[in-house]
């Protein structure tokens, strides 16, 4: 589902090269708010709760919401989601509100959700800087799985970059992708927010029945933060490769759950911060 809105917007700019100026059109990555709402039935009554607002690039919005709900433990499988739909609240908010309807018998823990997160495209889910927050979601240590060949690992950032079609036009989007251990892309998504790109990728995997993704590698175009590693752990991803640096808490989390965490994967080199035993 690409979505009813475009991911880019054209603007007129004054372009300077040395002392010469010219007028030109430039493509920008669109950034708009997306409100996520939960709907469920409790005691015979329909209930709706505004869960979070994130600044995102329009497109693949249902994937984004599904990935967010799974990463936060609201749903554990696609069977717990009966429908994802837009709520058209007037022209100004058209396609900027998505309602996730939960299956019968599924009800969110609203108090836990209120305590644990608030979302923006820049910082993602805040207020959960604790390894215990992941264990609350009943995550098990990741299985050993297949070996990751070093030559394949070298190629993954370039394979991700090749799939960034909107970045080619704007230069302003992050990307995340699920790849097989042989280096073949399964899902790649782009967004102005790093966390959103991961949620879109893992959300699509959830909706297509690919979770837990025990035979895949998550590749991200930026750094590896605690929240991104958390989302991968919850999705059962055994290895994560980042073009940038990991944080200390991200490394701690990867080591606790047996994930292979690779950083600075560029220029024919990389650093392995956790799970080196998976590398062939």
- Verify whether residue 123 is a known catalytic residue: yes
238/259 Cα distance (integer angstroms):
5
**Catalytic hit among 87, 123, 126, 139:** 123
Phi, psi angle pair for 245, to nearest 5°: -90, 150
Q: Is the dihedral of CA 190, 158, 171, 267 positive or negative?
A: positive
279/198 Cα distance (integer angstroms):
23
155/174 Cα distance (integer angstroms):
18
CA 209 to chain CA centroid, nearest Å: 16
- Cis preceding linkage at 212, omega within 30: yes
CA 8 to chain CA centroid, nearest Å: 19
What region does 267 belong to: left with phi over 0, alpha with psi -120 to 50, or beta?
Answer: left
> Is the CB of residue 106 less than 8 Å from the CB of residue 74?
no
Active site residues per annotation? 123
């Amino acid at each position: 589902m690409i979505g009813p809105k475009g991911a880019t917007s054209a603007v007129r700019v004054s372009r300077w090269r040395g002392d010469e100026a010219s007028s030109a059109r430039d493509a920008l990555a669109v950034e708009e708010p997306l409100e996520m709402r939960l709907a469920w039935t409790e005691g015979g009554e329909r209930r709706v709760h505004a869960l979070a607002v994130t600044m995102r690039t329009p497109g693949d919005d249902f994937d984004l919401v599904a990935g967010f709900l799974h990463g936060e433990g609201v749903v554990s499988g696609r069977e717990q989601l009966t429908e994802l739909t837009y709520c058209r609240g007037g022209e100004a908010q058209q396609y900027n509100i998505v309602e996730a309807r939960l299956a019968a018998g599924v009800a969110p823990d609203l108090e836990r959700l209120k305590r644990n997160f608030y979302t923006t495209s820049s910082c993602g889910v805040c207020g959960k800087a604790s390894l215990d927050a992941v264990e609350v979601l009943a995550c098990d240590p990741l299985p050993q799985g297949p070996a990751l060949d070093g030559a394949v690992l070298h190629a993954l950032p370039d394979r991700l970059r090749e799939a960034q079609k909107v970045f080619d036009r704007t230069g302003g989007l992050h990307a995340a992708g699920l790849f097989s251990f042989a280096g073949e892309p399964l899902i790649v998504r782009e967004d102005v927010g790093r966390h959103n790109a991961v949620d879109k990728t893992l959300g699509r995997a959830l909706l297509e029945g690919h979770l837990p993704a025990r035979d895949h590698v998550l590749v991200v175009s930026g750094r590896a933060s605690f929240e991104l590693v958390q989302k991968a752990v919850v999705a059962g991803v055994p290895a994560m490769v980042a073009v940038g640096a990991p944080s200390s808490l991200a490394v701690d989390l990867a080591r606790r759950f047996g994930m292979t965490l690779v950083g600075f994967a560029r220029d024919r080199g990389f650093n392995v911060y956790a799970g080196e035993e998976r590398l062939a």
